[in-house]
């Protein structure tokens, strides 16, 4: 019997090649606009109209997650045949027991998972998408992916009306760009495990999401030709300064990303652009006037 010896002298293993993820072109024929809302019908309606007014070379769906509004939002939403409405009551009692208080991340993940597109545009119910914004995002995505970039998100410059004069995108810890309003790509969301739902109640969950994307090799870039107006309710800034939840969320965020905090603190990247149509003044102005009148009565 002849024995065969398949063993060979050990050879040095080849050096591992740097991991360069394959960039697969995103399906840009469809996109989903998602937002959460609670008892803000007066802001929700113009936000939805600003989405509907977008002229874009793609099928656009709208997904709204409502926390159990009692101001007429729910009847209005369910009557809108172009909106996917999800209701998740987040306050009060049911069958004698208090409803569990869910985090912002919990709500947004519901909307993200319900979206039927690879491109998810996240806005707030107090935002206006200015004309051309969604198409600018699609064009920018095509440009970056054409250059071989693995895009996880695209940040739309926004302005806090009426406090800010200039549009900006945020850079969080380590100088890494983040998405307050803009595109998030489903493959990136899935790769990082979606938004953290336990560690943060409301604030910093979006920053944390973006840092997780950067850590996994996804990039987040700006879209200079996209613009979002964000309404600041009277007294909101003061509430944020005295908000215990914000302080707690900031502390968690700082501990989690303490090495990046030592490199660079959050900042803004600003843009020299003004809306020639004065959209925010025209839409938000009457809303602010009514709010001021109500506060003074």
Grade residue 132 by pLDDT with cuts at 50, 70 and 90. very high
Report the alpha-carbon distance of residue 48 to residue 125 in Å, rounded. Answer: 8
Does a structural domain hold residue 6?
A: no
Contact between 161 and 229 under an 8 Å Cβ cutoff? The reply is: yes
Q: Residue 12: what pLDDT?
A: 43
Grade residue 141 by pLDDT with cuts at 50, 70 and 90. very high
Task: Using CA atoms of 103, 107, 110, 114 in order, give the dihedral in degrees to the nearest 10.
Answer: -160
Name beta bridge partners: 66. Answer: 37, 87
CATH code of the domain in which 231 resides: 3.90.550.10
Per the structure, how many domains does the chain have?
Answer: 1
DSSP state of 185: E
Residue position matching structure tokens 């970056």: 144
Return the closest-CA partner of residue 123 out of 170, 81, 63, 177: 63
Q: Residue 193: what pLDDT?
A: 96
User: Poorest-confidence range of 23-32, 57-66, 108-117, 141-150?
Assistant: 23-32
| pTM greater than the 0.85 cutoff | yes
Does a structural domain hold residue 206?
A: yes
Does a structural domain hold residue 193?
A: yes
Helix/strand/coil percent split, the chain, to 5: 35, 20, 40
Does a structural domain hold residue 275?
A: yes
Backbone angles phi, psi at 116, to 5 degrees: -105, 20
Grade residue 19 by pLDDT with cuts at 50, 70 and 90. very low
The answer, yes or no, to whether residue 8 has pLDDT greater than 50, is no
Backbone angles phi, psi at 64, to 5 degrees: -120, 130
Query: Per residue in 227-252, pLDDT tens?
Result: 999 999 876 655 655 578 888 999 99
């Amino acid at each position: 019997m002849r024995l065969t010896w398949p063993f060979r002298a050990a050879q040095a293993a080849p050096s591992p090649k740097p991991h360069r993820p394959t960039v697969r072109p995103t399906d840009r024929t469809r996109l989903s606009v998602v937002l959460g809302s609670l008892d803000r019908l007066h802001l929700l309606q113009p936000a939805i109209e600003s989405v509907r007014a977008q002229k874009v070379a793609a099928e656009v769906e709208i997904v709204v997650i409502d926390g159990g509004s009692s101001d007429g939002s729910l009847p209005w939403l369910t009557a809108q045949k172009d909106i996917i409405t999800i209701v998740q009551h987040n306050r009060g009692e049911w069958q004698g027991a208090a409803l569990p208080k869910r985090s912002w991340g919990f709500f947004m993940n519901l909307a993200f998972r319900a979206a039927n597109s690879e491109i998810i545009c996240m806005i707030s119910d107090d935002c206006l998408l200015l004309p051309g914004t969604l198409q600018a995002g699609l064009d920018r995505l095509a440009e970056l992916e054409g250059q071989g970039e693995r895009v996880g998100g695209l940040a739309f410059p926004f302005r806090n009306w009426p406090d800010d004069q200039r549009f900006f995108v945020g850079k969080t810890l380590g100088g890494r760009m983040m998405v307050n309003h803009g595109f998030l790509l489903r493959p990136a969301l899935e790769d990082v495990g979606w938004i953290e739902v336990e560690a943060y109640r409301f604030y910093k969950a979006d920053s944390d999401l973006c840092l997780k994307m950067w850590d996994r090799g996804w990039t987040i870039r700006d879209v200079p030709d996209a613009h979002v107006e964000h309404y600041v309710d009277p007294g909101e800034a003061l509430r944020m300064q005295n908000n215990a939840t914000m302080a707690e969320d900031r502390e968690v965020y700082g501990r989690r990303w303490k090495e990046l905090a030592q490199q660079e603190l959050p900042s803004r990247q600003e843009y020299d652009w003004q809306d020639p149509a004065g959209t925010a003044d025209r839409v938000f102005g009457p809303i602010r006037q009514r709010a001021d009148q109500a506060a003074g009565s």
